[in-house]
Amino acid sequence: MVGVGPRKPPSRKGSMADLPKDLLTEIKALEEAFTIDTTKLKQITKHFVSELEKGLSVEGGSIPMNPTWVMDFPDGYETGTYLALDMGGTNLRVCEITLTNNKSEFDIVQSKYRMPEELKTGQSDELWEYIADCLQQFVEAQQCAKGPQGKIPLGFTFSYPATQNYIDEGILQRWTKGFDIDGVEGHNVVPMLEAALQQRGVPIVVSALINDTTGTLIASAYTDPKMKIGCIFGTGCNAAYMENCGSIPKLAHMNLPPDMPMAINCEWGAFDNEHKILPRTKYDIIIDKESPRPGQQAFEKCIAGLYLGEIFRLIMVDLHDNKDIHIFEGQDIKHLRKPYTLDASFLSSIEDDPFENLQETADLFKEKLQLTCTGPELELIRRAAELIGTRAARLSACGVAAICTKKNLQPCHVGADGSVFNKYPHFKARGAQALREILDWPAKSNSSEEDPVEILAAEDGSGVGAALIAALTLKRFSKGNIAGILHPENFN
C-alpha cells in the first residue's frame, strides 16, 4: 500500500478536570439546557406522529404535509431521456439524464450556471428569461433528443414553499433563499417559465415540478428499493415519504383508491410552531424572536445548518457579557457581536479539531474573530459546539422515528442529503444512537449488523430525482392515471 502522508489524528475527547470552577459551572448549565434524554426524545416523537397526522387532515396543522402527485416508487426499469432543472439559491443546474436499459442505472450530463444576484430582487420576466436562456444553451449544446410530441420533458426542481394541486404546477407561497421578486408569490410558476421558453422556440414542456426532498426520496429508491424516506439536513431541513391516499383525509373529495400511493412533502421544519414539546433554551427563543418570521419553523431553528452557528455565537456573547465569568476578558468582541457571522462549518471545524490543546480551534478564533482564547475557554468552546451538534442530530432522529412509527417502516433505509448530514462530524452516529433509544432496538450482536433503520447518503434528488419523477408521471399517464395532472395534453 502506498503511503499518503500522516493521517490526521481522530478528533479528541475533551477533559474537564483542570477547568476553573466558574467555567465548569457554565458548562454544566449548558449541558442541562441542551441535553435531551431518551424519555424526552420519545415524548417528542409521539407528538411528532400526531402532528404528521394532523397535517394530513382536512383542518391541517403546523406541518403542511403537501401531497406531491408523485404516485409510485420507481421499479428501476424506467427508461428514456429527460431534462432536469434545479433552481437553487446560488446556482442553476441543468441536467440531461438518460435512464438506461440496465436496471437502476443512469447517465448524466450537466452544466451549472451562476444565478446573478441582481436577478433575485429584479423583475419576474428577467428571471424566467435568464433561466430559458440557460436551458436553450444547454439543449443546443447537447442536441437533446425530443419526445414523441417533438417536446423535451423537463422535471423542474423548485425548492421554495409551493402549493401543488397538480404535479405540473406550483403556486409559490413565499420566496426564500434571498429571493424577493414581485409578481410571483401566489402565482403558478410553470406558465411563467414555459412562456419564456416559447418566446425562444425552445421545445421543452414541464412534466413535473418537484421539491428537492421528494426528488431525494425517489432518486434514492431508484438505486435502493429499501429506501422509504428522503430527508434533507442542510441549511434547512425536510422529509418526504410515501403515504396511502386512504390516509390523507384532505384528499378524500378526489375519491382516489385508498391503497394508491402518494408521496408527501412534509415541510417538517414547521413542527411544534406552537412550542408545546421542543425543549427551547433562552438562545433558541432569541433566534426565533429576531428571525424574519417569528413563531415559524420552530423545529428547523433547532436543527438546521443556518441556525447552529448562530446558537453558538449567542452562547459566546452571553458568556462574555455575563459578569461572573467574562470569557475573552479585556478583548473587543465586535466581530462576534455580528448576527449570523458563524455558520455550521465553523462548528464542524471546532468538533473536528484533533489536537489535545485545541490548537486548530484557537487559530480559528484568532483568524475569524480576532480573539485569543485561554486553554479553559477552548474547552468550553469545544463542549458548547458538541452540545449544539448533538442536540441537532438527536432532534433530527425524532422526525425520522415519527415517520417510521406512523408507517411501521422497520426495517428500512432513509436517504439523507444536505451539508449538515454530509459534513458535520458525528452527526450520523449521534442520529443513529438517538433512533436506537427512541425505537428500543436491542444491542447489536456484531458491529457489522445493520440497524433496523439505516440513514444513508442519498442519490442526487434535484437532478436524477426530478428526471425520474417526470418519467414516473409519463408512465402513469400512459396507464390511464391522470390524477393531479393539469395539462394531460402535454403527455400524449
| Residue labelled with grid coordinates 421554495 | 160
Q: Is 114 a catalytic residue?
A: no
Q: Is 349 a catalytic residue?
A: no
Among 159, 207, 396, 462, the one annotated catalytic: 159
Q: Is 159 a catalytic residue?
A: yes
Among 12, 174, 200, 293, the one annotated catalytic: 174
Classify residue 178 by burial, with Cβ atoms within 10 Å: 0-12, 13-18, 19+: exposed
Burial 249-280 (b: 16+ CB within 10 A, else e): eebeeeebeeebebbbbbbbbbbbbeeebbeb
Cell numbers given for 479: 396507464
- The angle subtended at Cα 51 by Cα 161 and Cα 454, nearest 5°, is 85
Amino acid at 313: R
Please give the helix or strand (H or E) that residue 194 lies within, else none: helix 189-199
| Residue labelled with grid coordinates 419564456 | 196
Query: 306 near 312, Cβ under 8 Å?
Result: no
First-residue to last-residue Cα distance in the chain? 57
What distance in Å separates the CA atoms of residue 267 and residue 63, rounded to the nearest whole number? 6
Q: Dihedral (C-alpha) 67, 69, 73, 75: value to the nearest 10 degrees?
A: 180
Strand order in 80-87's β-sheet?
A: 106-114, 91-99, 80-87, 152-158, 204-210
Among 168, 212, 288, 417, the one annotated catalytic: 212
**Beta-carbon-side half-sphere exposure of residue 93 (alpha carbons within 13 Å):** 23
Catalytic residues: 159, 174, 212
